[in-house]
Structure 1
Amino acid sequence: MALVVSGCSIVQPKSFTFQAELPENFTIGAVTHYESESGEMCSKRKAFRSKERNAANFVELQLPLTDTAKGCSMVLKKVVLHIEGKWGKRELEMSLQRASITIRDEPSETVRPFPISGPFVFQAQCQWFFRTTGPRRYIVKILECRALDANGVVQKQLAGAALQRDQLAGKTVKMVLTVAEEELPAVGDNWVKFPTGWKRCMGKGLDDLDAFCFGNTIDFKMFKMPDGRDCTVYPNCTE
């Protein structure tokens, strides 16, 4: 008996899955950047944001590898990740930082291969920097997110990864984001650290907004927490 097998072709998926494990009070969105694959003068950007997150702060997005616009075929070149961290309860008490996924067509030393099984995982750590602003010296915070190497050491470059295009279809890329345990001053020589916390240098006086220490580690001034409390030491407020 002869067995007849009909010819068929397996359609390769033209997207990949992006996942993110986020700290509390963090969200993330993605903007995909497409360019022509044949040298035509066309490009496109698309924004993606998860509609919901579960209790574990887990986000998943499906990102297309190709797109078209007015007859122009385009391929994904880059994914810009927009990280938002909230440091207070009010709407503007937040800070933004970017990470990126670069898509390469040719192998290079900066491109890590996908594992045999499971997602491609890259890690990053965000650092909160605090400072005072305005004549009443309110605390505000600035976010900075940098890559971690395989040993968990913070790198100079911002968070992200470089991936090879022909390995991406149907795969999962996962970003694991953590936050440094200790916040740091945003401006050097503004604060002095004590066992109870950081104290704000007096500078040339209460009206000195820059208030560098200038070697004076004896005179300090009060500042305000975002909730309005008058404090002498950060983050504990009182000694």
Structure 2
Amino acid sequence: PFNFVADPIGLAAGNFTYSRDDLSPGVGLFPQRLTFSRIYSSSAKNQDSVLGKGWAHNFSVTAKVNSDGYQGMGEDSALDAVAALVEMKASSDLLTDASHPIEKLVIATLGQRWFGDQLINNTVIVTQGLNGEVFVKLPDGSFNPPPGNSSKLILNGDGTYTYDTVHHNSMHFNSSGNIDTYKDANGTQVNYSYTGSNLTSVSNGFWRTLNFSYTNGRISQVSDGARTVQYGYDANGNLTTFTDTLSKSTTYGYGLPGQITQIFYPSFPST
């Protein structure tokens, strides 16, 4: 379910991107194989994460409530603007009465207040790695997906969210908005465990588990029980070293915090 770019330069924004698979227990594809992948984008250099500024990983999947007036007024879809169109039409009809009866003025005012309320907490952003999808809440409580997206976002009775794809894969998010289960169309389930907001383990039904360790709020190592990869950071919180399962290190140099300017691989550690 996670898509990473292959071209290092984004054609639309000109941003530099970089991705790497660090540890991959299991065989086949996700969810049978639990590949831990990192992705960097220079356009996200001001966004901090457990891997440092500009970085994200594929098991970081969230559903967060947000307010977006532009979306609520139909920036991406006319369906998103249903509340705005209904309120504008109703208020227009009420205020065209030349006698301006007080009851109509009150109703129009209440309608405008209602519309304003529709623009508060009216979107849910589902983020996977550095990619985000904006779902807009409609007056009936359902969510309209982004253009070209057939996935469904469902608000459950306990206030949590479920994300269903057209291929019948589903993700459930806990009360904090973090993914806690993924299930594919065949019933294979992946479970996500947390300590506070930090992801501590990812496991599937094939006896594959990834365990995450943290130092000062940053991921310091990831292990599958037999193999371990490690991460190091500078004083600014930039990810500066990655050490693979063979104890070979890749280092990253930065111009500004979050802005990668150099990558040194184990085969050429200084050039």
- Give the TM-score of the pair, scaled to structure 1: 0.28
Q: Comparing both chains, which one has the higher relative contact order based on Cα–Cα distances under 8 Å and sequence gaps of 6 or more?
A: 1
Answer 1 or 2: which has greater helix percent: 2
Answer 1 or 2: which has greater strand percent: 1
